[in-house]
Amino acid sequence: MACELAQILPLEKGRKKMGWINDDLTLLLLEKALDVCALRHKVIANNIANVDTPGFKASRVIFEEKLKRALKESLLPSELQKIRPELVRDEESSLREDLNNVDIEKEMVRLSENTLRYNIYAQLLTVKLGILRAAIQGK
């Protein structure tokens, strides 16, 4: 049975913000990047789980293009917070007779790429928080 996209999307509910840290563009971008990677992971996992579901159409997360446009416009951090990932369903292509268009090999590659991105963003966030901690402690 296909998982509904509405179950995948809840992303930022209940998240507490931390005052001046919200104005740090690097932290904001890393937070967004991690959130998008987590969402993308859920979407890819949903695609993989439905590889044998007749009529299932794969979904994708669109975010990076929106972020690039926003950064070109030099938006403030508070405006960047409003940028949301978009879920799109591939209704056009169909690889098989059962009208399912999930290509398991492509999904596994996307999953690996997404995992690498997530790990890189997490490492960058760790470094950034270490720098902030050192600054707060006066080191």
Q: Is residue 4 part of a domain?
A: no
The half-sphere exposure of 13 on its side-chain side, counting CA atoms within 13 A, is 4
Q: Is residue 2 part of a domain?
A: no
Confidence check: pLDDT of 23 > 90: no
Q: Is residue 88 part of a domain?
A: yes
- Tokens 């760790």 correspond to 126
Q: Is residue 3 part of a domain?
A: no
CA distance 17 to 19: 6
> What confidence score (pLDDT) does residue 93 get?
79
| Residue of 50, 121, 116 whose CA lies nearest to 89 | 50
CA distance 96 to 102: 9
33 confidence band (pLDDT: 50, 70, 90): very high
Mean pLDDT of 12-20: 48
CA distance 135 to 123: 19
More confident residue, 92 or 120: 120
Q: Is residue 5 part of a domain?
A: no
Kindly report the number of other CB atoms within 10 A of residue 38's CB atom.
13
Number of domains the chain contains: 1
Q: Is residue 8 part of a domain?
A: no
Residue numbers of the domain that contains 40:
21-137
Give this prediction's pTM: 0.78
Q: Is residue 1 part of a domain?
A: no
- pLDDT tens sequence across 40-95: 999 999 999 999 999 999 999 999 998 888 888 876 777 777 889 999 998 877 76
Q: Is residue 68 part of a domain?
A: yes
